[in-house]
Structure 1
């Protein structure tokens, strides 16, 4: 009985065909690998570019961070520099104000010292002028024999107290021990006991006139001594023929008793106010 080989889709392939199929498959596989490789190569390249872009972006981000830090640092340095400049400016202003204050104080002190020197110079000049005037007055001027006094008994007043029947001088009110001054410059011609006048002094002046000072408690000059106008020569008292402390004052044309003249007129003639 003859058998006929059935044919159909389930029939196995011959070796040749199987080998050819394998070879075809291998070729196809290689082709596929080549295709895949070809396709994969651009993909890998793309991946590399993406990686490069990513790396570049990260690098840019890092660079931006560094720039920001640098900017913040610069701002901090600028602020610190501004603060230091402000402090330096404030210190300079303070120093200038203190220097001005010291200068103003020095100027005020110099002005005060100048004013004081001028005042002292003025006072010294005034003292010199007064001294010169006093010197002229001592040589030529006249003063009252007792300061801040008045005439208590006038010239030629009558009464039994005087041997001549009238008062040959004037009496100045003066308590015991009141300073008595020479009315003008001159020379002492008598100093001692004058009888009824008690302790007395007689002075001859440059114009040839004389003055007498009586009833003194003490005498401070001696005969022959030169005196100046206003010089203290004695102290008032109540010696001799006296009823109480006072100064008996006479103006005379000569040194002796009896040459008397009006003492008030005499003093007024020489500028003394009585």
Structure 2
């Protein structure tokens, strides 16, 4: 399996959800009954869970960043204190040296006696002033160090409290996120179950119109999904296909929004058969794109679509071994006329 370039998900991932359809079924020929389903039941639940999961993830990651910043501030304070301690140690050593020198020179005598006995009283006074200045400087340095110690103690206590609070909050957010994702996974499979029922009946439900995100594509063509891994490629062999694989598979979770790769018109929406729930779009120049193994559709036959518009949601309906989007490019609406979709998209400026 070839791994594709990862693209960041749109904030609107929540929309992946709306996919359970609540419109009347069509005749049992695998065709689609035009009309609008209502976004209710598990569909609305999936949408809500996607939104909550995105929000929880954002808050969780913000908490981790805040914790990292707090640790960086504490480490900087610790480095500053170490510098103060080293400076103080140097001054202590210097004072000790001066004191030892005084002792060897009779420092135990009063200053007056030193002056009377000294060969050069002025030199003695200069030395005494040096000692006094050194002692004063040392006292000031010790004071600074003690104040720095006190500040650091306060800062460390605040940082420790902040870390505990951040860790607790992040733990709660992680648990909430995990709970939402578990519910979302359950809702996805409920959604897939409804798609499988439609395929078994050979009749699609009406389209559920997805709330489109605010996107302004600067290109005329886009990839059919936003975040993906490429799996089975065009022309590959295997027991799953009668001859060769006729499209490019995108491994994505159930409910992932599927996008129209370019401007076109929906010419087919159907359920049943090897492709399960599928959509075919006609584009200018005589080419058609197919989106298969879907869990739900968001367009009706005859709809006009634009680049990046959400037209359905991925699934694993039909002859599928796991959640993915099967994407084809054809020169007719029907199978048997496929061309390599990767090179076709590359010619349109889309690199997978």
Q: Structure with the greater relative contact order (CA < 8 A, sep ≥ 6): 1 or 2? A: 2
TM (norm. structure 2) is 0.38
Structure richer in strand, relative to its length: 1
Looking at CA atoms only, which structure, 1 or 2, has the larger radius of gyration? 1
